Chains A and B, each alone.
Chain A
Amino acid sequence: MEKSKATLKIKRFNPEKDNAPHWESYQIEVEPTDRILDGLNYVKWYQDGTLSFRRSCAHGICGSDAMRIDGRNRLACKILFKDLGEVITVEPIAGLPVIKDLIVDMEPFMEHYRAVLPYLINDDPPPPDERYQSPADRAKFDDTTKCILCACCTTSCPSFWAKEEYIGPAAIVQAHRFIFDSRDHGAAERLDILSDSDGVWRCRTIFNCTDACPRSIEVTRAISEVKREMLFRKM
């Protein structure tokens, strides 16, 4: 396949050297079907080994390489050069502390995730075989089982940027996955947590999260379903 020229303009920060982040540009040759991740690897492997970013699966499943690419949150391994211009800007996702280059501290994000009790709660003794669930019941939370905890949604959300205590869309998606699972008994507890002042009501339905989700989860819709369930239970 024919190679073409591209420029990656990357926001760099080395905590051992720099006081503040700065931009650096790298000229590379790529095939149109190369992923941005391939481009970053090219820079790291052949031009500047100090460039740091997380990556693993390289096909959009592990959630390691969320970054802001041309101003939008994406997985670097799930967007190709042919779908972007000749000069591409890459910076870390916003709202989480930057550690080095494109690597942010994920702990605050994971803390919010853990806060919603993201596990099945059901203390009934299990049957000898599987618990039954109808395909219709299974479908109710199918969309939110796709979440890979990449943080694209939460770090694209203006409400999260404004207040880092806001639990954020990803945690609500994870809560949704259990609240609407017919086998789960923990919905009341989770809804209680989410009704807190830093819970679902901080969502202003801006839809950035839905646009940002690399797994095409209808995040805003899931949040609305949680809000609705909360109101419904109050009545």
Chain B
Amino acid sequence: MKIHKHEVIIVGAGGAGLMAALYASKKADTAVVSKLYPTRSHTGTAQGGVGAALGNMEEDHWEWHAFDTVKGSDYLADQDAVEVMCRDAITTIYELEHMGLPFDRTPNGKISQRRFGGHTNNTTHKAVMRACHAADRTGHMILQTLYQQCIKNKVNFFNEFQVVDLIYNNGVCSGVVAYEVATGEFHIFHGKAVMFATGGWGKVWSITSNAHTLTGDANAICLRRGIPQQDMEFFQFHPTGIYRMGILITEGVRGEGGILLNGKGERFMVKYAPTVKDLASRDVVSRAIYLEVRQGNGVDGQKYVMLDVTPPTVNKYFQEDDARNPDGSLRHLTEHDVEAKLEDIADFCKTYLGINPAKQPIPIQPTAHYAMGGISTDIDGRVLLDEQKTVIPGLYAAGECACVSVHGANRLGTNSLLDLVVFGKRAGEHIAQYVQNVPFPELPDNATDSIKALLENLKNSSGKETVAKIREEMQDTMMDNVGVFREKVGIEKAIAKIHELQKRYQAISFQDKGTQFNTNLLEAWELGCLLDLAEITAEAALVRTESRGGHSREDYKERDDKNWLKHSIAWKNERGVTLKYKPVTITKYQPKERVY
């Protein structure tokens, strides 16, 4: 077995991991371990933009951004963290620009910005242009730019190394165990500090915008090592995924004027969010679509509605709304705008649906999109062990796998890319400092024994169950029962089903017994992670008897601040899931009713 010794071990090479790597490697010997080539990370698929109150297009203030984020979170976000994010946003975006990020430009050469759901001018309550964008491939540009800078700075990469365990004994974290995909060998990465940045776990659900590889590995590893997860009941369903495929159609489409229409051709969002309408927060729009479908207003009686960004429709509603540009002129959209500003969206529509979105509406349905919960951290990315906020020395997390919490119960669009770069940077800086002052912790004996045994067991199992079947059943039950809407009986059904699947998982077998690129084995291991996360999501959802943000209980329709203005913290062991709670940090913004 190979042992690699580096002061800092970063697991994951998406936006959060790369940003941290850039900062950590300035001062400390840093290795990035990633199951994918860095540029394959899902950050690259982010489309619409990254939020920052630059005020390049019209008046804006970071305090407005902070308020919108808190309101969007349904008051569950920690306000100190939100303030850090929205304030640091401005300098961090400039910094990305200095690294070479090719943002779109305004006529006078500044970074161009567009409207996005939930981002408003706090005085007029109208949508504000805050999302900095590079066409509709902002995430791609962020990922590329950060990777380019890592090449420039000669960061150490271990690509296609899948981390399968954390070496964590008696409260000390001394590294990770990784499985080299190309050879099947185990490697120990021995470090003074470890940071997780492994992204989300949308693959728990059947319709998702997430990649095949988003399986919550670090979250499951933490749970197995006794490190809890925060706010797991909150998972965001993005309202506009391509029907049946889940591929995301960015909110930027509605930012440019796109309208949601039901089967009767009605613009239904006016009923649910009279002020901002189609640009309401994601949880609000996803619920509205479900309700329309339930009332029989889906298109052709099916489970979808239309997203219409054809200029005649858009311009009709611009006129009706009297929608104006900052200079006072009436807003107007042309086919050329659709093609230029939404190039990738047009490409997806053409490839997967055979339509041109400048001429035809897009069939959409809500798609499982983003994990608000995750590994609990403070604002420097340090992982917290419990509801008392005890810091685990040397363990960090950032990005979608982490929960700071800036997104609370519902994330605003453009705030995840921002979260990655702001908190990735803070964690990277903090780690670099931390490792200066501590020695390498000793590696325990037999650090790889338990994970080796687990993978060997999987490989040698001769049961009758298959990965694909169990995964599909999990995804269907979670979609039906722990999705946009939830209620007691359904959640209980899902929990029972997950328990059944976990049992059957013990009897899975597969054909590939080899050592090289055994993706059969890795898919099986990842399914184990997904099942753990599905279970904990459902358990946390069952106990929270209120509706807040992305967690919408049909049997408890109201938000209940008296009993539930608190974060959940969940542990899992052989006996099941344990839940505890900790208070939300409130600074300036007292909880209010949330209307859009």
Residues of A within 8 A of B573 (CB): none
**A33-B352, A61-B44, A129-B94 as given contacts; A114 in contact with B151, CB under 8 Å:** yes
- Say which one of A4-12, A138-146, A222-230 lies at the interface with B: A138-146
Q: Is B105 within 8 A of A119, CB to CB?
A: no
Contact A59 B107 (CB under 8 A): no
Instruction: State the CA gap A14–B107 with chains docked (Å).
Output: 55
Partner of A132, one of B109, B149, B512: B109
Kindly identify which residue among A16, A130, A145, A181 contacts B94, using a CB–CB cutoff of 8 Å.
A130
CB pair B347–A216 under 8 Å, yes or no, is: yes
B476 within 8 A of A: no
B519 at the interface (CB under 8 A from A): yes
Q: Which chain B positions have C-beta within 8 A of A19?
A: none
How many Å from the CB of B595 to the closest CB on chain A? 35
Which residues of A lie under 8 Å from residue B98 when comparing CB positions? 126, 130-131
Q: Considering the complex, which residues of chain A in the window 7-60 have a beta carbon less than 8 Å from any beta carbon of chain B?
A: 14-17, 33, 44-46, 48-50, 52-60
Cα A129 to Cα B107 in complex, Å, equals 17
Binds B, one of A87-95, A98-106, A192-200: A98-106
List of A residues within 8 angstroms of B25 by Cβ: none
Which chain B residues (272-292) contact chain A, with CB distance < 8 Å? none
Least CB distance from A30 to B in Å reads 14
Complex formed: what's the CA distance from A148 to B137 in Å? 11
Chain B min CB distance to A64 (Å): 5
Q: Which of A80, A106, A134, A148 meets B105, CB within 8 Å? A: A134
In the complex, what residues of A have CB within 8 A of residue B45's CB?
Answer: 57, 59, 61-62
Q: Closest Cβ of chain A: how far from B516's Cβ, in Å?
A: 5
CB of A202 within 8 A of chain B?
A: no
Residues in chain B near residue A103, CB distance under 8 A: 517
Which residues from chain A contact B431 at a C-beta distance below 8 Å? none
Q: Is the CB of A63 within 8 A of B39?
A: yes
How many chain B residues touch A (Cβ–Cβ < 8 Å)?
60
Asked if A50 and B511 make an inter-chain contact with CB atoms under 8 angstroms apart, the answer reads yes
Contact check, A119 vs B149: say whether CB atoms are below 8 A apart: yes
Q: Are B140 and A148 in contact (CB under 8 A)?
A: yes
In the complex, chain A residues 73-113 whose Cβ is within 8 Å of any chain B Cβ: 78, 80, 99-101, 103, 106, 110
**A contact residues around B40 at 8 Å (CB):** 54, 56-57, 62-64
What is the CB-to-nearest-CB distance from B363 to chain A, in angstroms, rounded to a whole number?
12
Instruction: Contact check, B247 vs A146: say whether CB atoms are below 8 A apart.
Output: no
Complex interface residues of chain B between 440 and 468 (CB less than 8 A to chain A): 466-468
B556 at the interface (CB under 8 A from A): no
CB contact between A131 and one of B97, B145, B516 (< 8 Å): that residue: B97
Nearest CB in chain A: distance from B303 CB, A? 14
Closest to B348 in A: A59
A133 touches B109 (CB 8 A): yes
- Interface check B41, CB cutoff 8 A: yes
B42 lies within 8 A of A57 (CB)? yes
| Pick from B134, B148, B514: contact of A119, CB under 8 Å | B148
Q: Which of B105, B247, B344 contacts A133 (CB 8 A)?
A: B105
Query: Would you call B334 an interface residue if the criterion is a C-beta within 8 Å of the partner chain's C-beta atoms?
Result: no
Q: Please, how many angstroms separate the alpha-carbon atoms of A44 and B524 in the complex?
A: 12
Residue-wise interface mask of B (179-209) relative to A, using a CB-CB cutoff of 8 A (1 in contact, 0 not): 0001000000000000000000000000000
**Of A50, A54, A57, A78, which is in contact with the most chain B CB atoms at under 10 Å from its CB?**
A57
Bound together, the chains give a CA A165 to CA B222 distance in angstroms of 44
Q: Please give the number of chain A residues whose Cβ is less than 8 angstroms from any Cβ of chain B in the complex.
A: 59
Contact of B102 among A45, A61, A181 (CB under 8 A): A181
Q: Smallest CB–CB gap between A123 and chain B, Å?
A: 11
Docked complex Cα distance between A135 and B42 (Å)? 28
- B41's partner among A45, A50, A62, A110 (CB-CB below 8 A) is A62
Which parts of B94-137 form the interface with A (CB within 8 Å)? 94, 97-100, 102-111, 134-135, 137
Q: Does A118 contact B (CB under 8 A)?
A: yes
Given A57-B211, A59-B45, A148-B140, A130-B351 contact (CB < 8 Å): no
Q: Is B37 an interface residue (CB 8 A)?
A: yes
Contact A58 B212 (CB under 8 A): yes
Q: Is B36 an interface residue (CB 8 A)?
A: yes
Q: How far is the CB of A86 from chain B (nearest CB, A)?
A: 20
B510 interfacial by beta-carbon distance below 8 Å? yes
Residue in contact with B148 in the complex, picked from A14, A120, A129, A130, CB distance below 8 Å:
A120
A79 CB → nearest B CB, Å: 8
**Chain B residues within CB distance 8 Å of chain A:** 36-37, 39-42, 44-45, 54, 93-94, 97-100, 102-111, 134-135, 137, 140-141, 144-145, 148-149, 151-152, 182, 211-213, 245, 247, 344, 347-348, 351-352, 466-468, 510-512, 514-520
Identify 7 residue pairs between A and B in the complex whose beta-carbon atoms are under 8 Å apart, listed by A's number: A17-B514, A52-B512, A59-B352, A120-B99, A122-B100, A129-B110, A134-B109
5 smallest beta-carbon distances between A and B, as pairs? A120-B100, A132-B109, A45-B468, A119-B148, A49-B511
